[in-house]
């Protein structure tokens, strides 16, 4: 009996050991089909990332707010912004945090998965290539590719020759578009969407080309060789067929461009004709062009009834009929019309104010104090507010750099001053969403440390939003690539 019992005991023990061994080696059960990921990608994500205590629905609050349980949730992003940017692994934190191999590009700490063995080279390459193919789901669909009329926000990144494309619905970066003609950094400065909404254009402060892209799919259309210069701003005519752009130099120039045929129609230049021309503005009738003389006491006013032979005059900013030799300097940076075109506004960097002029006779009608060094402006058409960025203001918010002044343009009075983040520069109002987008450069080393590094060096900046109704800065701030500078809205 004892022998028989002993034999039974060893059989049971062997069975228990076999069962225990089998549990240990069994692969976790994952739902590839339900996840929406392509099989090879899903096997990596669901066994290495979307695991208990990490990037799951239940534990995402402790993991930057990111759930990776499904492909759809991947594209909801994190508290810092998007996780994957289709076609751009170098700007996708999903790659940056999982890559631990210097030969494959930038690595960011802490490496993922935390506390576990890193992904092997083959797995990282598979993720990289998947992202560069658009990061499609299991059916081959690429996120944000289904609506050519999608509303978007465009932001230039001067440090990387990139344009960030934000999806207006989610506020997340949906694409990074490489711009520029050469491999050298040409620094995309200003970006504008044509009035018809079909194209966006960009100029460079260290380049020789004016470039054109479609808004439907953000593909490159063509470019104009405008000669090497510091091309700062441009204004597009109401019919979307022509533009004027300014070369910011001591002996600067202005070009008249044909946007349909991508040619230079005429160049306006000469000794002392334009001195550091910067901001450009067309009136509603498109027969007057205003250009700021950034280091001076005046703005240029060009009658372009015949755009090939403009009549050029100057408007002094102190409201006097004196010539431009008046000792007082205002350093006008930008000029913009209020929505009804009855008044135009000029940011004066030297005097830390916005000056308001009556459009009918160019008379000075108001002076509005702002934070120091005011630069860019954007008007709301549904509320009475003008937003002015002051990137180098270190006075209004001690210990911080930059501010955004909110002005009531009906009463020409300052409403309040906001802090969005370090060195706010580009600004654009999206009345349809009730938001104001502000590009924060964060170029100085005294600003907050970026969430992650970039493959092109420099410091990442961010985009903040202001609620049009409450005039408050929203809590979520999205990190972008290096030196976000100019903002444009595709309505």
pLDDT tens column, 117-172: 899 999 999 999 999 999 999 999 999 999 999 999 999 999 999 999 999 999 99
pLDDT tens column, 48-57: 888 877 898 7
Band (239; pLDDT cuts 50, 70, 90): very high
Query: Which residues are CB-neighbours of 304 under 8 A, at least 6 positions away?
Result: 244, 286, 287, 288, 289, 310
pLDDT at position 59 is 75
pLDDT at position 322 is 59
| Average predicted confidence (pLDDT) for the chain | 91
Q: Do 288 and 248 form a contact (C-beta atoms < 8 A)?
A: no
pLDDT at position 157 is 97
Band (22; pLDDT cuts 50, 70, 90): very low
Band (21; pLDDT cuts 50, 70, 90): very low
Q: Is the pLDDT of residue 326 over 70?
A: no
Mean pLDDT over residues 243-262, rounded? Answer: 97
For residues 17 and 233, the model is more confident at 233
Q: Do 486 and 193 form a contact (C-beta atoms < 8 A)?
A: no
pLDDT tens column, 31-83: 888 899 999 999 999 998 888 778 987 878 777 889 999 999 999 998 888 99
Band (20; pLDDT cuts 50, 70, 90): very low
Task: Go through the domains of the chain in sequence order and give each one's CATH number.
Answer: 32-132 (no CATH), 157-490 (2.130.10.10)
pLDDT at position 130 is 98
pLDDT at position 160 is 93
pLDDT at position 344 is 98
Q: Do 132 and 89 form a contact (C-beta atoms < 8 A)?
A: yes
pLDDT at position 29 is 53
pLDDT at position 329 is 87
Q: Is the pLDDT of residue 10 over 70?
A: no
pLDDT at position 478 is 93
Band (9; pLDDT cuts 50, 70, 90): very low
């Amino acid at each position: 009996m004892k022998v028989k019992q002993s034999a039974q005991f060893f059989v049971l023990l062997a069975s228990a050991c076999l069962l225990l061994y089998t549990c240990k080696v069994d692969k976790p059960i994952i739902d590839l089909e339900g996840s929406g990921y392509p099989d090879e990608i899903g096997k990596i994500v669901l066994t290495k990332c979307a695991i208990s205590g990490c990037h799951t629905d239940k534990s995402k609050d402790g993991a930057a707010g990111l759930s990776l349980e499904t492909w759809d949730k991947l594209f909801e992003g994190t508290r810092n912004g998007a996780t994957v940017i289709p076609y751009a692994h170098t700007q996708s934190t999903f790659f940056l945090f999982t890559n631990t191999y210097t030969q494959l590009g930038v690595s960011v700490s802490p490496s993922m998965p935390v506390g576990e063995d890193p992904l092997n080279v083959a797995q990282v390459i598979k993720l990289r290539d998947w992202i560069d193919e658009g990061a499609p789901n299991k059916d081959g669909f690429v996120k944000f590719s289904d609506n050519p009329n999608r509303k978007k926000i465009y932001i230039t990144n001067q440090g990387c020759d990139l344009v960030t494309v934000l999806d207006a619905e989610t506020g997340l970066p949906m694409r990074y578009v490489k711009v520029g003609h050469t491999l050298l950094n040409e620094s995309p400065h200003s970006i504008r969407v044509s009035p018809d909404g079909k194209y966006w254009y960009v100029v460079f402060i260290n380049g020789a080309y004016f470039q054109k892209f479609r808004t439907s799919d953000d593909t490159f259309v063509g470019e104009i060789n405008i000669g090497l210069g510091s091309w700062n701003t441009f204004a597009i005519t109401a019919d979307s067929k022509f533009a004027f752009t300014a070369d910011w130099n001591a002996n600067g120039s202005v070009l008249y461009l044909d946007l349909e045929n991508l040619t230079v129609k005429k160049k306006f230049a000469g000794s002392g004709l334009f001195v550091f021309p910067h901001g450009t503005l067309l009136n509603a009738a498109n027969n007057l062009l205003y250009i700021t003389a950034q280091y001076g006491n005046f703005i240029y006013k060009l009658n372009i009834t015949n755009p090939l032979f403009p009549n050029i005059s100057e408007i002094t900013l102190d409201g006097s009929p004196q010539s431009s030799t008046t000792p007082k300097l205002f350093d006008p940076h930008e000029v913009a019309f209020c929505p009804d075109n009855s008044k135009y506004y000029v940011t004066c960097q030297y005097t830390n104010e916005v000056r308001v002029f009556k459009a009918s006779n160019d008379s000075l009608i108001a002076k509005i104090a702002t934070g120091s060094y005011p630069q860019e402006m954007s008007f709301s058409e549904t509320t009475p507010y003008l937003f002015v960025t002051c990137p180098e203001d270190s006075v209004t918010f001690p210990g911080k750099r930059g501010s955004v002044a909110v002005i009531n343009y009906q009463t020409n009075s300052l409403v309040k001053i906001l802090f969005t983040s370090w060195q706010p520069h580009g600004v654009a109002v999206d009345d349809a969403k009730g938001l104001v987008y502000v590009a924060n450069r964060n170029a100085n080393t005294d600003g907050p440390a970026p969430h992650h590094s970039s493959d092109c060096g420099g410091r990442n900046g961010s985009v903040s939003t202001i609620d049009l109704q409450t005039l408050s800065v929203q809590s979520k701030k999205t990190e972008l690539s290096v030196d976000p500078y100019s903002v444009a809205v595709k309505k």
